[in-house]
Amino acid sequence: MNPTNVEIEPSYDPMTDIVFLLFTQRNRLEPQRLTFDMNTVRNSNWNPSSGLRFILHGWGGNFETAHNIFLTRDFLNIADHNVVVIDWSAGRKVNLTEIYYSNKLLKVQAR
Protein backbone atom coordinates (compact mmCIF):
# COMPACT_ATOMS: atom_id res chain seq x y z
CA MET A 1 0.00 0.00 0.00
CA ASN A 2 1.34 3.39 -0.99
CA PRO A 3 0.64 5.88 1.82
CA THR A 4 0.53 8.80 -0.62
CA ASN A 5 -2.55 7.29 -2.31
CA VAL A 6 -4.56 6.98 0.90
CA GLU A 7 -7.33 9.56 1.23
CA ILE A 8 -7.95 10.70 4.77
CA GLU A 9 -11.58 11.28 5.66
CA PRO A 10 -11.74 14.75 7.25
CA SER A 11 -13.14 14.87 10.75
CA TYR A 12 -14.27 18.46 10.19
CA ASP A 13 -16.82 19.18 7.48
CA PRO A 14 -17.72 22.88 7.23
CA MET A 15 -20.93 22.07 5.32
CA THR A 16 -22.34 20.27 8.36
CA ASP A 17 -20.19 21.39 11.29
CA ILE A 18 -20.58 25.16 10.98
CA VAL A 19 -23.81 26.27 12.65
CA PHE A 20 -25.62 29.50 11.73
CA LEU A 21 -27.91 30.84 14.46
CA LEU A 22 -30.38 33.63 13.71
CA PHE A 23 -31.52 36.14 16.32
CA THR A 24 -34.07 38.86 15.53
CA GLN A 25 -36.43 41.15 17.42
CA ARG A 26 -38.95 38.28 17.38
CA ASN A 27 -36.50 35.74 18.85
CA ARG A 28 -34.00 37.68 20.92
CA LEU A 29 -33.19 34.84 23.33
CA GLU A 30 -33.89 31.65 21.40
CA PRO A 31 -31.94 31.28 18.14
CA GLN A 32 -33.24 29.70 14.97
CA ARG A 33 -30.82 27.42 13.16
CA LEU A 34 -30.19 28.26 9.51
CA THR A 35 -28.61 25.82 7.08
CA PHE A 36 -27.61 25.89 3.42
CA ASP A 37 -31.22 24.94 2.67
CA MET A 38 -32.97 28.24 1.87
CA ASN A 39 -36.21 26.90 3.36
CA THR A 40 -34.66 27.35 6.81
CA VAL A 41 -34.31 31.06 6.03
CA ARG A 42 -37.78 31.36 4.49
CA ASN A 43 -39.36 29.62 7.50
CA SER A 44 -37.47 31.68 10.07
CA ASN A 45 -37.93 35.15 11.54
CA TRP A 46 -35.50 36.52 8.94
CA ASN A 47 -36.57 40.03 7.91
CA PRO A 48 -35.21 40.92 4.46
CA SER A 49 -35.82 44.62 5.08
CA SER A 50 -33.67 44.62 8.24
CA GLY A 51 -29.94 45.01 8.50
CA LEU A 52 -27.64 42.01 8.80
CA ARG A 53 -24.87 41.52 11.35
CA PHE A 54 -22.59 38.50 11.62
CA ILE A 55 -20.82 37.49 14.83
CA LEU A 56 -18.01 34.95 14.74
CA HIS A 57 -16.39 33.60 17.87
CA GLY A 58 -12.68 33.05 18.38
CA TRP A 59 -10.65 29.86 18.60
CA GLY A 60 -11.69 28.81 22.11
CA GLY A 61 -15.30 29.94 21.91
CA ASN A 62 -18.71 28.84 20.75
CA PHE A 63 -22.05 30.55 20.16
CA GLU A 64 -22.58 30.94 23.92
CA THR A 65 -19.30 32.82 24.49
CA ALA A 66 -20.02 36.00 26.47
CA HIS A 67 -19.10 38.48 23.72
CA ASN A 68 -21.54 36.77 21.32
CA ILE A 69 -24.36 37.17 23.83
CA PHE A 70 -23.50 40.82 24.54
CA LEU A 71 -23.03 41.76 20.88
CA THR A 72 -26.27 40.06 19.86
CA ARG A 73 -28.18 41.91 22.61
CA ASP A 74 -26.54 45.23 21.71
CA PHE A 75 -27.20 44.90 17.96
CA LEU A 76 -30.87 44.13 18.66
CA ASN A 77 -31.13 47.02 21.13
CA ILE A 78 -29.78 49.45 18.52
CA ALA A 79 -31.96 48.46 15.56
CA ASP A 80 -34.08 45.80 13.94
CA HIS A 81 -31.23 43.60 12.71
CA ASN A 82 -30.92 40.02 11.59
CA VAL A 83 -28.05 38.82 13.77
CA VAL A 84 -26.37 35.59 12.67
CA VAL A 85 -23.98 34.01 15.13
CA ILE A 86 -21.64 31.61 13.37
CA ASP A 87 -20.58 28.69 15.55
CA TRP A 88 -17.64 26.78 14.15
CA SER A 89 -16.60 25.30 17.52
CA ALA A 90 -16.56 21.77 16.06
CA GLY A 91 -13.56 22.92 14.02
CA ARG A 92 -11.38 23.61 17.00
CA LYS A 93 -11.26 19.87 17.77
CA VAL A 94 -9.06 19.25 14.74
CA ASN A 95 -5.75 20.74 13.66
CA LEU A 96 -5.58 24.03 11.76
CA THR A 97 -4.23 22.45 8.58
CA GLU A 98 -7.31 20.25 8.29
CA ILE A 99 -9.60 23.25 8.86
CA TYR A 100 -7.76 25.22 6.18
CA TYR A 101 -8.15 22.48 3.58
CA SER A 102 -11.76 21.73 4.59
CA ASN A 103 -12.72 25.40 4.17
CA LYS A 104 -10.82 25.56 0.89
CA LEU A 105 -12.88 22.56 -0.27
CA LEU A 106 -16.08 24.35 0.83
CA LYS A 107 -15.20 27.35 -1.37
CA VAL A 108 -14.67 25.05 -4.37
CA GLN A 109 -18.01 23.26 -3.73
CA ALA A 110 -19.85 26.58 -3.46
CA ARG A 111 -18.84 27.69 -6.94
pLDDT (0 to 100) of residue 44? 98
Q: Cα–Cα–Cα angle for 79, 84, 90, nearest 5°?
A: 155
pLDDT single digits (tens) 7-45 = 555 676 777 888 999 999 999 999 999 998 999 999 999
pLDDT single digits (tens) 42-65 = 999 999 999 999 998 877 777 788
Question: What pairs with residue 87 in β-bridges?
Answer: 19
Who has greater pLDDT, 100 or 109?
100
Q: Report, as an integer, the average pLDDT of 77-98.
A: 82
pLDDT band of 100, cuts 50, 70, 90: low
Helical H runs in the chain? 14-17, 38-42, 66-78, 96-110
Q: Where are the domains of the chain?
A: 11-110
